[in-house]
Amino acid sequence: MSRLRTVKGYTLGGLAPTPVSFDYLTGHFPKTECGNFVQLQGAKFVPVPASGKPICGTLFAYTGS
């Protein structure tokens, strides 16, 4: 596990919209996270948005329930 936490910039073989860093397990969270989304339309998956660009957002601190 300690070696995994040193991995920074993992791209899932080019599939990740932004590189993944495993040092978040030590409390170092990225400022921005991005994700790719698809929607099932009929028998096909289509990208959302249609351009296929990742949707990104800024992470915020959880303050409790």
Q: pTM for this structure?
A: 0.50
Task: Give exposure, 14-41, as e/b (b: 16+ Cβ within 10 Å).
Answer: eeeeeeebbeeeeeeeeeebeeeeeeee
Hunting for tokens 């400022």 — which residue is that?
Answer: 31
The residue among 31, 35, 28 whose CA lies nearest residue 12 is: 35
Q: Give per-residue pLDDT as tens, 35-45.
A: 888 999 999 99
| Predicted local distance difference test score (pLDDT) of residue 40 | 95
Which tens digit of pLDDT belongs to each residue from 15-54?
777 787 877 666 656 667 788 889 999 999 999 999 988 8
> What are the boundaries of each domain within the chain?
4-58
Query: Which of the four pLDDT bands, split at 50, 70 and 90, describes residue 62?
Result: low
In angstroms, rounded to a whole number, what is the distance separating the alpha carbons of residues 44 and 41?
A: 5
Cβ atoms of 28 and 20 within 8 Å: the answer is no
